Amino acid sequence: MVKLVSSLKIRINTAKLFPLLLFIFLFPFQTFPQSDAKVFKILSISVEGNVSADQNTIIANSGLRVGDEIRFPGDETINAIRQLWTLNIFSDVQIIVDKAIDNGVFLKIKVAEYPRLEKFVVQGNDHLSSSEIEEKITLIRGQIVKPQDIKRLISRLKAKYEEDGYLNTSVRYDYYRYFRADTSGRFLQIVYQNEKNLADEYMDELDLNDLGVSGQSYVDKVKNRVLVKLTIDESNRVTVRNVFFKGNSTIPSDDLKGSMEEISEKVWWKFWSSARFDQKKLDADKKKIAEFYRKAGYRDAEVLGALLPFLSLGLGVVLCEVCLGCGGYVRGGLLAGH
């Protein structure tokens, strides 16, 4: 969220300035008529909320300068927020009037930085190994981590699980922040707290001989970083219990099943076959079914997209819907699970 201001801290001797200063920040990101604006000189610029970003760098990137004359309401502070937002390191940017005297203002830039990554911790992964999951993680220690980065990672992990038939896998993430550390022994023990549930703690234990720095130096570095825990619920691998056909009035279902080379039903005597559901394989089999119809004389047969890939856990039911006389298509998807 980006706002021009959420609060005003103003001490004014001139009463007529107060209504104007109260109004100027109620309509962020709008261009105001010059006739409604009053010119003020910037007397001071301060920064609040920065952790790793340098104050002078923030001020320089805002484009605002002490001594500049700016209009209130005006575009200067709006543009300053936009410029800071494009740095891609802040989750919130505000510019407030901390104090106003006569025709001068003391501005304060309030920022909230995205956290920097300390490490990932993964729990609940049985099917995928830790190394397989690490291959999907592109963020490195010390890098700025944003919610959209984590969501992209989760999408990659879920796609990998879906390839292997785990269609109902869920992945949750939590941020853990530094709480306390014990540097007295050979092993450095750092305790992190879940920022949403302080009772939920995670302890990381590190051999001081492997760190290359003192325990306290390492602790000072991680104090402003986050540990990201990924909690995976793999659920059950979805297998195909039945394959049904709808609309195949001219060709028996068994013949259509015989044309499918990738998807098969789960039967007890096929102990060597997992009958695992795979959307890509189903898409390939729909083409096989359409080709079977074309060879049977239905030259206009074609394949449309799949139905819902799954609805629940466990054994699934695949439905292939055939439409002839309406362009000819085969539509298939995993209907349900039990």
Q: Which of 22-26, 88-92, 178-182 has the lowest mean pLDDT?
A: 22-26
pLDDT beyond 50 at 162: yes
Measured in whole angstroms, how far is the alpha carbon of residue 174 from the centre of its chain?
12
State the pLDDT at residue 259: 84
Helices (H) and strands (E) in the chain, counts: 9, 13
**301: confidence class by pLDDT, cuts 50, 70, 90:** low
Overall number of domains in the chain: 3
Q: What mean pLDDT do residues 59-71 have? A: 94
Q: Cβ(115)–Cβ(175) under 8 Å?
A: yes
Q: Is residue 72 part of a domain?
A: yes
309 vs 40, higher pLDDT: 40
pTM over 0.75: no
* pLDDT tens digits along 95-134: 998 999 887 999 999 999 999 999 999 999 999 999 999 9
Integer Cα distance of 156 and 262 in angstroms: 24
Residue 329 has pLDDT above 70, yes or no: no
pLDDT at 16 over 50: no
For residue 288, what pLDDT is reported? Answer: 86
d(CA 95, CA 111): 9
- Give residue 267's pLDDT: 53
CATH of the domain at 252: 3.10.20.310
Any bridge partners for residue 4, and if so which? none
What's the token pair of residue 208?
């001081």
**Phi-psi category of residue 15: left, alpha or beta, with phi > 0 → left and psi -120 to 50 → alpha:** alpha
- In DSSP notation, 268-288 reads TT-TT---B--HHHHHHHHHH
Residue that terminates a domain, selected from 113, 140, 156 = 113
Backbone angles phi, psi at 144, to 5 degrees: -65, 135
User: Do 202 and 255 reside in the same domain of the chain?
Assistant: no
- What pLDDT is recorded for position 21? 36
Same domain, 216 and 246: no
303, pLDDT greater than 80? no
pLDDT score recorded for residue 293 = 83
Candidate ranges 99-108, 188-197, 325-334; pick with highest mean pLDDT: 188-197
Same domain, 77 and 23: yes
Residue 200 three-state SS: strand
Encode 247-260: b = buried (16+ Cβ within 10 Å), e = exposed.
ebeebeeeebbeeb
* 209 and 229 fall within a common domain: yes
One domain for residues 41 and 103: yes
Cα–Cα dist 275/266, whole Å: 5
What 3-state DSSP class applies to 330?
A: strand
Whether residues 227 and 245 fall in one domain: no
Asked if residue 276 and residue 193 are part of one domain, the reply reads no
| 264 within some domain | yes
Residue ending a domain, choose from 191, 216, 233: 233
Residue 19: pLDDT band (50, 70, 90) is very low
Residue 152's H or E segment, with its range, is: helix 147-163
Query: Is pLDDT at 325 greater than 80 in this prediction?
Result: no
Average pLDDT for 127-144: 94
Task: Record the tokens describing residue 46, joined without a space.
Answer: 């301060």
- Neighbour-count burial for 267-294, b at 16+ CB within 10 Å, e otherwise: eeeeeeeebbbbbebbbebbebbbebbe
Say if 4 falls within a structural domain. Answer: no
| Residue 323 pLDDT grade (very low, low, confident, very high; cuts 50, 70, 90) | low
Is 122 in the same domain as 204?
Answer: yes
Indicate the residue among 233, 248, 266 that finishes a domain: 233
Residue 190 lies in a domain: yes
- In a shared domain, residues 296 and 194: no
Kindly report, residue by residue over 225-258, the tens digit of the pLDDT. Answer: 999 999 999 987 777 767 777 777 778 888 888 8
> Which of the residue ranges 23-27, 34-38, 97-101, 114-118 would you say has the lowest mean pLDDT?
23-27
β-partners of residue 106 are 44, 99
Q: Within a domain: residue 122?
A: yes
Identify whether residues 22 and 99 lie together within a single domain. yes
Of 215, 168, 160, residue with least CA distance to 187: 215
Pair (226, 320) in one structural domain: no
Determine which of 187-191, 213-217, 243-247 has the lowest per-residue pLDDT on average.
243-247
Q: Which of 33-47, 112-126, 154-168 has the lowest mean pLDDT?
A: 33-47
User: What is the phi/psi pair of residue 332, to 5°?
Assistant: -140, 150
Of 139, 219, 212, nearest to 177 by C-alpha is: 219
Q: Is the residue at 251 inside a domain?
A: yes
Instruction: Report d(CA 227, CA 117) in Å as an integer.
Output: 6
Weakest-pLDDT range from 16-20, 194-198, 248-252, 266-270 = 16-20
Residue 91 lies in a domain: yes
Q: Are residues 225 and 136 in the same domain?
A: yes
Instruction: List the domain range (segments joined by +) for residue 92.
Output: 17-113
Q: Give the angle 168-169-173 at the CA atoms, nearest 5°.
A: 140
| Domain membership flag for residue 185 | yes
What is the structure's pLDDT at 164?
A: 83
